[in-house]
Structure formats: C-alpha cells, structure tokens
Structure 1
C-alpha cells in the first residue's frame, strides 16, 4: 500500500453522512475524557446511554467495563458480532486541539474513541432503518491496550450470553491510503508476549569481583544468546521478534549488584514458533546462569495470541467493504505485521476477520501511540457504513 494513492469516492450511506457533525461531536467528547484499561467508567456509560436511546437492549459490566448491545430483527437465529475497543493509553497528549485530553497523562492515542463512535453510529442506523434477519451484537471491549480485555469478556461469558456465529473488528491505520481496507486470511497480526529474567547473587565490591559472582555479566551473556534464537532457530520463511526493552541493575559506582533484571517482548505469527521461543528463552537463561554460578528466575506471560483471520469470513468482509470502498482501495492480501491486538482471543473462539481502515497521510498525520496523534474524523461515516452493510449482508432478510 502507498499512502499517496488518490482518495476515492465512497458509497457512504446518506443517512449516516447526514449526521457527520454529530458523530464528530461524540468522538471529540470521548477523546477529551480518555480512560485507561478497566477504568473506562464514563466511556462505558456514554456508550450504554447512546445504545439505550436507540432502543438497543444493553448489557454492561461484562469483563469489568465492557458493554454489549443486542439488536434483534426477524425470526432467524443467525447472529454477528461487531467489536470496538474503549480504552486509552498512558500518554501525555500533545496535539493542542480543542478536544485534547482533559485527563493528565492519559490520551486516545490509538483511535479507540473513533472505533467506538463508528459502531455506535451503525447501531443507531440498524435500529432505526436496518434491514436484516437475525441478531447483531455490538461489542464494546475494555482494556485492549496490554491488559487483555477481550479475554476478560470471554471469561465473563461473552459468547455464552451472546453466541455470535462470526465476529469482526475494524482498526484505523495511519499511513495507509485514506479509506483503504486492508486485511488478509490467516495470520495478520502477531502474538504479544512479555518475559522477565531476574539474575541473583550476593553482590560484592567492584574492586574484588573475584570474591562474588557478577549478575550483570551473566545477564549480558543471556541477552546476547537470546538474539540467536530468531536468527538461527526460526525459519527464514517465518517471522518473529525478540526485543529486550529493559535492563536494570545496580545503584552505585563501586558495587557489583546482587540482582540484574531483563524484560522484553516476543512477537510471532505462528503458535509453534511462539512455543519454541518461550522454551529457548528459558533454557538459555537457566543454562547460562548455571554455568556462571548465579541463580535466576524466568517468567513468561502470553498476553495475546497471534491474530488469525478465518478465510471465509475474511472474504465476506472484503466483499462487503467493497460496497463502500472502491475496489482500487481494497487490499485483501496485505502483509502480516508484528503489531498485536487482543481481538485475537475472540478469533480463537469464533470465526471472523480483523481489518484496517486507512487514515491517509497528509504529511502532518501521526502514527498510533504518538502523543500528537488524533483519529481521522472523516473515517467515521465510512466505518459506520461498512458496519451497517456488514450486518445486512451477513444476516440477509428473506425476499
């Protein structure tokens, strides 16, 4: 994809285009009041109030602060789940916009405010004018950023209470052509795992290292060895990343510390590769530390699995998106990337598809998680229109 592709003409639903200003006001209100994972109290209340005002049956508190709207029409037992995320990030906003975050150190730097409004807008249209036969579940998930809100909703009974036949999610994509839809069948996003190694010994004087064991040197040896896992044990046809992001040891100039800590993240697209890397990180750490005479403890946290789109649902999503977006802006075999989204957990439970909606690149636009980022408001009616057509296409009304 190239961000300088000319902007296409979109087949936006007229009734949604007519309320564009209102959608922007909603989005700006959410943006100004961002909330962190599992603390999205005001955000959830905003969503629930809107859904109820449209006559949508609404459940709250799922997975902590999650919201699910239920809209039934006709007699079919078929169902579809449409998911948006609610939470913000612990980032100090630097946009200087009128709707800039009012909450110090917290901002919507990933566009979840826009995702929520697109789904709210679709819910209103479907409640008032939608032509479908079955049930649409509007799933507003908390805690996508690092904290596993998708799994919390699943553990709280999401699919037991709201048994979707298939489930879909949209995420905005700065840098991609404006309005472009990009996805792929199979592995699309990577797993997101975190690890920690603590190396311990008694410590000692820096002038007499021969009288103790050096935890820093042991940690350095481990860190160096770990970098051979991807280069020598992952096939070139596969992809993986092992990144050490923290190295903490010592507090003074003249003492060898009794503890050194390494922390980092692992990203893969293949569950078998994920398992192999976890095993090798542990084995290398324990064997090297043993050889150097120090103790160690290793922990590994599988936060998010690889995000794997099911082929049939991906094709259906692409076909529906092409009703709104010109074929020139449909990318149905986009390259897999090493970013992560915990929607992957929902895709382990139900078939479905996660796809990007391009925000364009005006030259001043910012990437996700940048303190100067702001969601592209022009996407609101496009995303809402895609959601409406998705529900109507997946739950066709008999004629």
Structure 2
C-alpha cells in the first residue's frame, strides 16, 4: 500500500480518535458530540467548516490552485441501537448504543485524509469532505441533499466506502451499476373481530388470516418476479393477541422489501397490496397497508467506478482489487447523493484472518484499526488524482509500505 509518511506518523492519533468515537456512539440526527469533534479537528487542519446541514452534518472545504474542479468524499457518523458485547476497554459508554457498523472508522479515515490533504496541498481544485449523519435509519444523505448540499458545495463527483469485515484485509471490491438495494417497508394491519378463544366461530380471527397473508407473500418473488431480478420480501414482525383464550381484533405485521429495478419495485408494492386485500376478503375481513419507500437503489456510475478501480490497482496492487459478482441486498443512503452526482460506492476488506471476525451489526463487531491508514491514504490519493486528472502530474512523496 502507498501510505504517505506523515499519515503513518499520525496513526496513533487516528486510533485514539476512532476509539473515542467508539466509546461515545450517537444515533442518527443526534451526533452532537461526534460532529463537534469532527468540526474541531477539521478547523485545526485549516478547512472552512460548515455545521448544521441535516442537523448534525459537517462539511469541510479546502481549495488549492486555480481549477474550478471539485470532488466530494463522504463518511457516515451514526451508531446503532445495539447493546455492545465486545468487552473492550473502549466499549460504548452508552448502554444500548454501539458503533456496530464501523462508522466510527469511516469518520476517522476521512479525518486522517483531511489532515494529509491539507498538509500536502498536492491538488488543483476544491475538496469537499462530507461527514453525514443518520445513514442507518433516517436517510441523512437525502436530508443533506434536500437542504442544498450540492448547491452549497458543488461537486463534480462524489465517493464513499464501507468496511467489510468478511473480506480479505485491504481488498477493494466494487462494481459498475447497482451495488446496494432499494429498501421499502409495508405495514399490514388485519382487521378482524375478536372474542372468546373457545368460540372461534363467533369471531373473525385475524391471526389465521394474517398467517395466510404471510404464506401468500412468499409467492411474490417465486411466482411474480423474473428469476433474474434480485428481490427479497421478508415478514420480519408479526404481532397479535395476548392470551390463548382470547382471539384478538387485529393482527399487525411489518414486511421488508428489497429490489433494484424501479419497475420491479412498483410491482412488489402492487402485489403486496393485492395479496393482503384479497386474502383478508377471503376470510371476511379487511386490511390497511401502509407502504413506505425508504432508500433507492445505490447505483454506481461507469466512469467514476473505472476511476476508482484503476486508482485502487495502482494503490494496492491488482491482486487487491476484485469485482463484485452481484450487488448487495443491503441498502445504503449514499444512493441519494449518487442520484444527484456521478460517483462510486465501494468496499474495503477488513478481515483480521483469525476466524473471529464478526459481521456488521453484530454486538461483538469491532472495526479493524489497521484499516485507518489505508483508508485515509486512499482518500488522499483519490482527491489528488481526481482533481489533478488532465493536468501535469504532481510530484508525490509516498513511501511504499507492504
């Protein structure tokens, strides 16, 4: 890996920052302490810092030279409502909250890059570093865009990464086109007629009807959607009743839906509504279906993906760059930025290779601190390479580190 020598010297400081963030997790739109720490660090590096976009978002801007070209790099800052089980001495100090997705690492890597970019000044144009709140649940990217992110901070392209604890350490994984799924949610309420459990004939049992709906929903992917269109329909919640001798008046379920193609997305909503309504009618009951669309599919742009791929090959070696054979069914709200600007979202492997790596969102997951200098160095190179493209090469002072 090509790691800037000054960046290597700052690794202990980066580790300290990352572990401090890990010990103080904050949920989406509540990242007050995190955003203040980020803003304070960025100001000390000489950036013009803007606070308050999407409530707790931070955008840092640095210009150099005369070019009007600009680039945006995003890191997410929020944690998850998970009770940590790592046993680390820097484990979460807030019970029930945890950085179980590595956003503490993403934030720290971009801070490391911010410092290196400012120290080197080896670019011609403007760098916008976007520290985004609320990636996990509230669509912080969408809020930032709606509040004028790209009007206030014009970007010719935007980039973001996510750590992957299951992939080989230091491996870059990417693909052109769809990379993460759109995510929707349907809340279905079955309206029955309750009564005594010993006299079901005098009731309209919403549990039986709801169970029929659950089974019928499983046919959508297998019988209504083309086999080559990746889709998932998951009934993740079913609640009804309180006791064995009581038939409740209603049953409620929550359905998670994943897809990529907009037409397929529309068909999924149509079929869910139709099945819920028709199944309920067959039992003499009614339903209400509240269908909400959360995140669109995350779709990479060809030119920017090619740029990241080639840069990663030069940075880490061709053997460390792999093509994703299929997109992930997980979602990513960076989709909203990619709908506005061309760019690329990719993955950076962080496996320790010890057989103890925990997956993302696991209560024992912990970001691999050895990734910090790699991510920071790559972001530094990306900003410089993108802004210097088409201009005379800028001399580098990188040292080769294996």
TM-score tier after normalising by the smaller chain length:
over 0.9
Kindly indicate whether residue 168 of structure 2 is the aligned counterpart of residue 186 of structure 1. Answer: no
Q: 1:373 aligns with which of 365, 383, 389?
A: 365
Asked whether the 8 Å contact 1:324–1:385 carries over to 2, the reply is no
Measure the CA separation in 1 of the matches of 2:336 and 2:194: 43
> Where does residue 196 of structure 2 map in the other structure?
205
Q: Look up the SS of the partner of 2:239 in the other structure.
A: strand
Q: 1:353 aligns with which of 327, 344, 354?
A: 344
Superposed CA deviations along residues 263-320 of structure 1, whole A, max 9, x for unmatched, are 1211112222111111110111112212221121101111111111011110101111
Superposed CA deviations along residues 323-366 of structure 1, whole A, max 9, x for unmatched, are 32111010134421211111111111111100000002321121
Kindly indicate whether residue 316 of structure 2 is the aligned counterpart of residue 325 of structure 1. Answer: yes
Superposed CA deviations along residues 57-109 of structure 1, whole A, max 9, x for unmatched, are 00011011111001111121111110000000011111111111111111100
Kindly indicate whether residue 382 of structure 2 is the aligned counterpart of residue 390 of structure 1. Answer: yes
Measure the CA separation in 2 of the matches of 1:29 and 1:191: 33
Measure the CA separation in 2 of the matches of 1:372 and 1:313: 35
Measure the CA separation in 2 of the matches of 1:72 and 1:28: 30
Superposition map of 1:242-321 within 5 A: 242-321=233-312
Measure the CA separation in 2 of the matches of 1:193 and 1:362: 36
Kindly indicate whether residue 142 of structure 2 is the aligned counterpart of residue 151 of structure 1. Answer: yes
Kindly indicate whether residue 358 of structure 2 is the aligned counterpart of residue 363 of structure 1. Answer: no
> Where does residue 171 of structure 1 map in the other structure?
162
Measure the CA separation in 2 of the matches of 1:12 and 1:327: 17
Kindly indicate whether residue 63 of structure 2 is the aligned counterpart of residue 72 of structure 1. Answer: yes
Q: Look up the SS of the partner of 2:66 in the other structure.
A: coil
RMSD: 1.1
> Where does residue 43 of structure 1 map in the other structure?
34
Q: Look up the SS of the partner of 1:297 in the other structure.
A: strand
Task: Detail structure 1 runs of 4+ shifted over 2 Å in the superposition.
Answer: 332-335
> Where does residue 104 of structure 1 map in the other structure?
95
> Where does residue 129 of structure 2 map in the other structure?
138
Measure the CA separation in 1 of the matches of 2:228 and 2:216: 22
Measure the CA separation in 1 of the matches of 2:152 and 2:354: 43
Kindly indicate whether residue 120 of structure 2 is the aligned counterpart of residue 129 of structure 1. Answer: yes
> Where does residue 5 of structure 1 map in the other structure?
none
Equivalent residues, number: 390
Q: Which runs of 5+ in 2 are unaligned?
A: 393-402
Asked whether the 8 Å contact 1:192–1:340 carries over to 2, the reply is yes
Q: Look up the SS of the partner of 1:370 in the other structure.
A: coil
Asked whether the 8 Å contact 1:130–1:388 carries over to 2, the reply is no
Kindly indicate whether residue 3 of structure 2 is the aligned counterpart of residue 12 of structure 1. Answer: yes
Does the C-alpha gap of structure 1 residues 322 and 62 become closer, same or farther in structure 2, counting only changes over 3 Å? same
Measure the CA separation in 2 of the matches of 1:235 and 1:255: 42
Measure the CA separation in 1 of the matches of 2:10 and 2:120: 14
Kindly indicate whether residue 229 of structure 2 is the aligned counterpart of residue 238 of structure 1. Answer: yes
Measure the CA separation in 2 of the matches of 1:285 and 1:17: 58
Q: Look up the SS of the partner of 1:138 in the other structure.
A: strand
Asked whether the 8 Å contact 1:118–1:381 carries over to 2, the reply is yes
Q: Which runs of 5+ in 1 are unaligned?
A: 1-9
Asked whether the 8 Å contact 1:48–1:67 carries over to 2, the reply is yes
Measure the CA separation in 1 of the matches of 2:246 and 2:180: 44
Asked whether the 8 Å contact 2:156–2:341 carries over to 1, the reply is yes
Kindly indicate whether residue 219 of structure 2 is the aligned counterpart of residue 219 of structure 1. Answer: no
Q: Look up the SS of the partner of 1:322 in the other structure.
A: helix
